[in-house]
Amino acid sequence: MKRLHLLAVPMLIALAGCSQKIVVCPVPAILADTATVTVMRPGATPDLANELYTVTMTNAEADCVFNQSTAIVRASMDISFHATRAPSRDAATYSVPYFVVVHAKDKVFAKKLYTLRFTFAPGAASADIKQAPEDTQIKISNGKLPWDYQLLAGFQLTQDQIAYNRKRDRYLP
């Protein structure tokens, strides 16, 4: 019986090793200051009663392929969004701009703008959307590794939207 126990331990260790995932991809993240965008009714003053809809980035995940011979990473990103609006019988389709930045510490290597297009079903007050912006290629600098870089997503906000986020505590000081 003791012999079976001793044989089981190395097998468990081997199985545990198989379930571990080593992540070498650029780190995905959402820039907290730009994680939420609120759009007002046309011509209305920025006020809670005048909100047309609000969209929040809720999650960002990344996957990648790293070619060591060329030192190029091809990274993909999946971003989850949650949109809300006041209850309405009508369906509505909207779009908002967002960005993905590739950076390492304080150096920005690339910034691309995208458009999130989404629809509220008739009677729906919320919608969940998942979007994958186009893949990003990153040339890894000497002495760097793929996880030294970050894919950072956020909404492309106007000055009025930034001020409204600050007023509603949706902005970090």
Say if 17 falls within a structural domain. Answer: no
39-84 pLDDT, tens digit per residue, is 999 988 888 888 999 999 999 999 999 888 898 999 999 999 999 9
| 130 lies in some domain | yes
DSSP string, 129-146: EEE-PPPEEEEPPTT--G
Band (8; pLDDT cuts 50, 70, 90): very low
Banded pLDDT at 97 (limits 50, 70, 90) = very high
Name the DSSP class of 77: E
Instruction: List residues bridging with 37 in a β-sheet.
Output: 55
Cα dihedral across residues 94, 154, 61, 142: positive or negative? positive
The one-letter code for the residue type at 89 is R
Average pLDDT over residues 97-116: 93
What is the overall mean pLDDT for the chain? 84
CA distance 81 to 57: 4
Specify if 20 maps to a domain: no
Q: Which helix (H) or strand (E) holds 9?
A: helix 2-19
**The domain that contains 74 carries what CATH number?**
2.60.40
**Domain hosting residue 151, numbered range:** 25-167
Domain-located, residue 9: no
Mean pLDDT of 94-122: 94
Name the pairing type of β-strands 150-155 and 92-104.
Answer: antiparallel
What is the number of domains present in the chain? 1
